[in-house]
Structure 1
Amino acid sequence: MGSESTDDAAPPLIEEDWAVFLDVDGSLAEHAPTPSDVRIDPQLMQALPKLAELCGGAVALVSGRSIQALDDLFAPLDIAAMAGLHGLERRGHGGAHAAPEMGADFLELARQAEAIAAEYPGALVEYKGGCLFLHWRSAPDAAASFSSFAERVREQLAGHRLHPGAHGIEIRPIGVDKGIAIAAFMEEAPFRGRRPVFIGDDPADEPGFAVVNAFDGVSVLVGGDRPTSARYRLDNPRRVRQWLFASLDRKQAA
Structure 2
Amino acid sequence: MPHEMLPRITARTALFLDFDGTLVEIASHPDAVLVPPALTRTLAALSSQLDGALALVSGRRLRDLDGFLAPLLLPAAVEHGAQRRNAQAQLISAPAADLRHVLAAAEGLVRQYRALQLEHKNLALSLHYRHAPELEALCLQVMQAAVAQSKGLQLMQGKCVIDLKLSGVSKGTAIAAFMTEAPFAGRVPVFAGDDVTDEDGFSAVLGLGGHAVKVGPGPTSAQYRCAGVPEMATWLQSALVPRRASRAESLSS
Q: Residue 143 of structure 1: SS of its match in structure 2?
A: helix
Aligned to 2:80: 86
Q: Residue 91 of structure 2: SS of its match in structure 1?
A: strand
Find out whether 1:64 has 2:82 as its counterpart. Answer: no
Q: Distance in 1 between matches of 2:243 and 2:6?
A: 16
**Identity over the aligned pairs, expressed in percent?**
39
Check conservation: 1:121, 1:139, Cα contact below 8 A. Answer: no
- TM-score scaled by structure 1? 0.89
Check conservation: 2:61, 2:78, Cα contact below 8 A. Answer: yes
Find out whether 1:49 has 2:41 as its counterpart. Answer: no
Find out whether 1:172 has 2:165 as its counterpart. Answer: yes
Q: Residue 116 of structure 1: SS of its match in structure 2?
A: helix
Check conservation: 2:171, 2:198, Cα contact below 8 A. Answer: yes
Aligned to 1:116: 109
Range with greater deviation from structure 2 (192-201 or 153-162)? 153-162
Q: CA deviation at 1:128?
A: 2.6
Aligned to 1:215: 208
Range with greater deviation from structure 2 (45-54 or 115-124)? 115-124
Find out whether 1:30 has 2:25 as its counterpart. Answer: yes
Q: CA deviation at 1:16?
A: 1.2
Aligned to 1:155: 148
55, 68, 76: which one aligns with 1:73: 68
Q: Residue 157 of structure 2: SS of its match in structure 1?
A: strand
Matching of residues 201-240 of structure 1 within 5 Å: 201-224=194-217, 226-240=218-232
Find out whether 1:190 has 2:183 as its counterpart. Answer: yes
Query: In 2 relative to 1, CA 221–240 (structure 1 residues): closer, same or farther, beyond 3 Å?
Result: same
RMSD, matched Cα = 2.2
Unaligned runs of 5+ in 1: 1-5
Q: CA deviation at 1:218?
A: 1.5
Per-residue CA deviations over 1:149-179 (Å, capped at 9, x if unaligned) read 1121121112222212231211212111101
Q: CA deviation at 1:250?
A: 6.4
Query: In 2 relative to 1, CA 120–37 (structure 1 residues): closer, same or farther, beyond 3 Å?
Result: same
Q: CA deviation at 1:252?
A: 6.0
Q: Residue 198 of structure 1: SS of its match in structure 2?
A: strand
Find out whether 1:140 has 2:137 as its counterpart. Answer: no
Check conservation: 1:223, 1:233, Cα contact below 8 A. Answer: yes
Q: Distance in 2 between matches of 1:127 and 1:99?
A: 17
Q: Distance in 2 between matches of 1:9 and 1:43?
A: 20
Q: Distance in 1 between matches of 2:44 and 2:244?
A: 14
Check conservation: 2:189, 2:210, Cα contact below 8 A. Answer: yes
Q: Distance in 2 between matches of 1:9 and 1:74?
A: 27
Q: Distance in 2 between matches of 1:251 and 1:236?
A: 27
Query: In 2 relative to 1, CA 68–9 (structure 1 residues): closer, same or farther, beyond 3 Å?
Result: same
- Which of structure 1's runs of 4+ aligned residues deviate more than 4 A? 99-103, 249-254
Query: In 2 relative to 1, CA 35–227 (structure 1 residues): closer, same or farther, beyond 3 Å?
Result: same
Q: Distance in 1 between matches of 2:7 and 2:159?
A: 29
Q: CA deviation at 1:132?
A: 2.4
- TM-score scaled by structure 2? 0.89
Query: In 2 relative to 1, CA 17–152 (structure 1 residues): closer, same or farther, beyond 3 Å?
Result: same
Check conservation: 2:19, 2:57, Cα contact below 8 A. Answer: yes
